[in-house]
Amino acid sequence: MSISIRDLYDKIIDYKGTNLYKDILTCWIKEFSYKEFVISLPDSLNLSNEENWELYALSRVLDILTLSMQPNKNSDGSNWLGPIIEKKEFIEFVKLLGLETIIPEKYNSFNCEIFETIEGDTNFEIVECLFPAIKFKNLLIKRSGVIIMNNKSDYNLDLINHSKI
């Protein structure tokens, strides 16, 4: 494959500017027809090893792009906040890649990752969706990041909010 999102990953990591979306992401989208690659993948998801690795690299790019949207900016202990990108820019970038975004209405552990829980009367009610889930055909590539509400008499909110898992 001549196009690799691994190259984009390196560009994001090395970027020192202030407008990642404009300077790197949209330029990369224009230079490479990644959406054509995504659309050309088989519906059966019977993928080659190279295609599987490419989708894995794509998931890593999506991971680093959502770091700055997460409430705990030092969860890995590195003090690296990740590249700064707005939620709307992230959604636009994902769509330009030919992927589907899903903003969950109800919490589901399959497509939602909890980043924070606040005290409330209802358990597992989504208070805010920090970024959408990302889907490629029938494959979930990235879960949405959510802040949920839980009753503190039912759950240890401190343990949930400080979990490293």
pLDDT value at 1 more than 80: no
Cβ within 8 Å of residue 11, ≥6 positions away: 24, 28
pLDDT, tens digit, 9 for 90 and up, residues 91-136: 999 999 999 999 999 999 999 999 999 999 999 999 999 999 999 8
Q: DSSP assignment, residue 23? A: I
| Predicted pLDDT at 87 | 96
Angle at 68 between CA 150 and CA 121, to 5 degrees: 10
Rounded mean pLDDT, 45-66: 89
Rounded mean pLDDT, 55-81: 81
Rounded mean pLDDT, 28-52: 84
Check if the beta carbon of residue 45 is closer than 8 Å to that of residue 139: yes
- The two structure tokens encoding residue 40: 């050309």
Strands 133-136 and 139-142: what pairing?
antiparallel
| Predicted pLDDT at 61 | 95
| Predicted pLDDT at 77 | 62
Check if the beta carbon of residue 148 is closer than 8 Å to that of residue 119: no
Which carries the bigger pLDDT value, residue 31 or residue 88?
88
pTM of the model: 0.88
